[in-house]
Every structure is written in structure tokens, then in C-alpha cells.
A and B are shown apart, each in its own frame.
Chain A
Amino acid sequence: MNLLTKLFLVLTVAALGYAAYEGLVVAPTEQTMGDVQRIFYYHVPSAWTAFLLFFSNFIASIVYLAKRNAAADAVAAATAEVGVVFCTVVLVTGPIWARPVWGIWWTWDARLTTTLVLWLIYVSYLVLRRYSVGSQTSVLAAALAIFGFVDVPIVYMTIRWFRTQHPSPVIGGGEGSGLHPSMWPPLLWNWLAFSMLAVVLVVARYRLQTMEQEVEKEHAHAALQGSPQ
């Protein structure tokens, strides 16, 4: 690990620490919900981060299909995995928040449901990567990634409309509910910290993937020199 990486790691840990402080201590206690509401500072940034990661996966997949570039494929694999992790956080923190506050574990509100569908789509992507045989896994995965991401806005609009037809409780206030100004800093700090964490995780996963590619290349070279395995 070079100096830059070490520095970034330290900064990430610091950011996470400070963001936790902001969210758990500094931020004001919410009027009606009490301290449980603080989970909002984890729930929302995780969602934004997951979305950004899936968007990166989309771009990387397009680049891969166009250029057949191994690095792009490694980025796609890494961002999908880390994205699913953050998405899981959203889906877990949602019910944890909802239960004490609204008395329900789950609600089919637009954002939570979209997150669930997103999670399903990208888990299916990871399953395809795992179960595909042959040398063309990357091509198949990239194709599926494009389908998946193109689906996201459609999913969101569909569920929004479904919800206007069949209203149900919304976690964290409706679309129009404003955020008290003092709640913005902890939210943004947590988002920064989570983004940095996402970068660390993606880079680590990317490095793992490229190392695997290197190992394959070494084996390939050996096979070329000597007799084939």
C-alpha cells in the first residue's frame, strides 16, 4: 500500500468517525421520532452511495462492451458487489427505523421498494457472474448490467404511480417534506464518509479482481511456454 492509499484510508476512518459524531451526538433529536431517527443518517447516504455505485457499474459495463477492456470489467464486478452491500444496509436500516417509529416492519413506499428491486437486480447480476461458464462471463454480465440499470428509472416511476393509486406509509416523510437546516450537515458528512468508504472498498475489490486476472495471465503464459495443462 502506497502513501496515498494509506493517507486516504486514514482520512476515511476519520471521516466515518466524525460523521458518526455528527449524526449521533451533534444532530438535534427529532421532535416526534426521538433518537431512533438518527438511523436516517445511515439509511439515506447508503442509498445514495449504492445508487452511485450501480451507476458506475453501468458505465463500466458499457465501456467493457465497447472496448473489451479487462479493467472496465474489474470495475464492474467491484462496484456491483460493493453496491449490493450498501443496498443491503438501506434495506436493513429501513425496517429497523420503521418498526419503533411507525409500528410496521415494512412498507411498499416508492423509495424503499425501488431499493428492494435494485437489490434483486444486482444480486441476480452477481449470481450470473458466479454461475456462468466459459470465457465470456464478462460479456454476459455487462449485457445484464445494462438491462438492470436501464430498468431503474422505470421501476421508480412505476412504483411512484402505484403508490399514488394505493397510498401507503412513507418512511422518512413524503417527497415534499423538508429537512430542518441543522440536519443537513450530519447528512452530508455521513454521505461523504460513506462515499469515501465505498471508494476504499471498490478499490480493494478492484485490486483483488485485477490480481485474479494477473494470476490467470501467468497461468496462460505458462501454458503457452510449456506443454498445455
Chain B
Amino acid sequence: MSTMTMARATLAKDLRMEWRSKDAINSMLFFGLLVVVIFSFAFNPNAEESRHIAGGLIWVAFLFAAVVALNQTWARELRNQVLDAYRVSPAPANALFLAKAFGNFIFVAVLELLMAPLFIVFYNLRSVGPAWQLVVVAVLGTWALVVNGTFFAALSIRTRNREMMLPLILFPISIPALLAMVDSTTSILTGEASPDFWMKMLLVYDVVFTSVCLLLFESVLNAE
């Protein structure tokens, strides 16, 4: 009864359900599009300047889109109280956490794959530094947001103001990761500095917080 097998099964189930109803992903995609358009109206620089601010804009946009995705993480499990069926089974709590976190990662990655090209178009972006580094930053940064976001979404279940609570507790703790994401993206786009330290920092952040999440999730899941 390995954790990874259970996680895979739960992830497959979630993806299947999402594929059938598509209710979360459709609204998220549209939201992502809206955010990019609005940002493009609000911050309308020329091509030279755009490379300097694009990093910040893109990641703030991703952050808001991610919150929309994260807020619905547990919605399906709470309908019909089906989460009880999981908790009553011998399946490990961490398998559920990993499945939800990977699921969120996929959703947010899909969002980013939509939003990034739009940003490139609206801002006429061209990267001076190597594009593969941007991908690494995107992967590490997205995981940083998603791993904590999934955990805090579980915390928020038992609060009065569920949707507001999640960003409220997620944003402060994510500040170092956000700083790293923004600055490394800017460094790569402008080619003016090396993003190495930032990428290492994001890796450390990811490792530390994934461990903390896995350590504490069971207590939070069963806090009834």
C-alpha cells in the first residue's frame, strides 16, 4: 500500500473528474486571460522596459490565477462528505496531499502555458538569457506556490471565510519564493545577472516546505 500508488490513483481520479466536468479549468483559463489583458492595459511599457518589469507582472498574474485554482482544491471532497470515506480508509494522508498538490501543479501549469505566450505577445518579449532557465524557474516557483497553497487550502476548510483565508495565509509565507521567482525571471529576460542563486534558493524553499507539509498534513486532515 505505497503512498505513491495511492497518490497516483487519487490524481487519476481527480483528473478524470475534471476532464468530465471541466468546471474548474474553464473558469480558471478565462480568468487567466482576463488577468493578462488587464495587466497589459495597466502597464504598457515599450519593449526595452518591458523586459525589466515583465518578470514581476507575470508572476503576480500567475499568483492570482493560482489562488483561484487552489481555492477549489478540496471542494469536491467536501461535497457529499466524501472526504470521510478517504479518512476512514487505511490510505495514508500524505498520498492524498501529494495527489492534490500534483493536481494543482498541473492546473496551474496549464494556466501558465496559456498566460505566458499571451504576455510574450502583449509585451513583445524576447529573452536575452536562455529560455530553459525560465522553464526551471517556472517549475520550481509553481511548485513552491502549489505545495503551500494545497496545505493552506486544507487549513482554510475549517475557517469562516474560506476563500479569503487562503491568500491571506499563503502570501506572506510565499514572499521569499515570489521574490526569487520575480528576480530570477527578470535576470534571465534581461540577461543582466545570473539567476543561479535564486534557482538554488527556490530549490531549498521547495524542499523545506514540501517536507513541512508532509510532516504536518495528517494532523491537519484529521483535525475535526
Chain A residues with a Cβ under 8 A of chain B: 65, 117, 120-121, 123-125, 127-128, 131-134, 136, 139-140, 143-144, 146-148, 150-151, 154-155, 157-159, 161-162, 165
Contacts and interface: CB of A to CB of B under 8 A. Distances in A.
B223 A139 contact: yes
Nearest to A154: B176
A159 B179 CA distance: 8
A134 B158 contact: yes
B172 A120 contact: yes
Interface residues of B, number: 33
B212 A146 contact: yes
B173 A121 contact: yes
7 contacts: A65-B219, A120-B172, A124-B172, A128-B159, A128-B169, A131-B161, A143-B219
Contacts of B176: 117, 151, 154-155, 157-159
- A contact face: mostly helix, strand, loop, or mixed: helix
Contact of A132 (B158, B168, B172): B158
Interface stretch (B15-23, B32-40, B54-62, B197-205): B197-205
Contacts of A148: 172-173
Nearest to A125: B169
Contacts of A146: 212, 216
The 4 A-B residue pairs with the shortest CB-CB distance, nearest first, are A136-B223, A120-B172, A158-B176, A121-B172
Given A134-B224, A157-B201, A165-B193, A140 B208 contact: no
Contacts of B224: 134, 136
B210 to A, nearest CB: 12
A147 B148 contact: yes
A140 B148 contact: no
A24 B110 CA distance: 59
Nearest to A166: B183
A154 B169 CA distance: 17
Contacts of A155: 175-176
A150 B208 contact: yes
Given A143-B216, A155-B175, A158-B176, A124 B169 contact: yes
A184 B193 CA distance: 40
Interface in B204-224: 204-205, 208-209, 212, 216, 219-220, 223-224
Contacts of A128: 155, 159, 165, 168-169
Contact of B223 (A124, A140, A159, A161): A140
B152 to A, nearest CB: 8
Contacts of B158: 132-134, 136, 140
B7 interface: no
A161 B201 CA distance: 10
Contact of B220 (A143, A159, A162): A143
Nearest to B201: A158
Contacts of B197: 161
Contacts of B168: 124, 127-128
B217 to A, nearest CB: 9
B194 to A, nearest CB: 10
B146 to A, nearest CB: 15
Nearest to A139: B223
Contact of B175 (A117, A134, A139): A117
B160 interface: yes
Contact of A144 (B169, B183, B205): B169
B180 interface: yes
Nearest to B164: A131
Contacts of B223: 134, 136, 139-140
A159 B183 CA distance: 11
Interface string B52-73: 0000000000000000000000
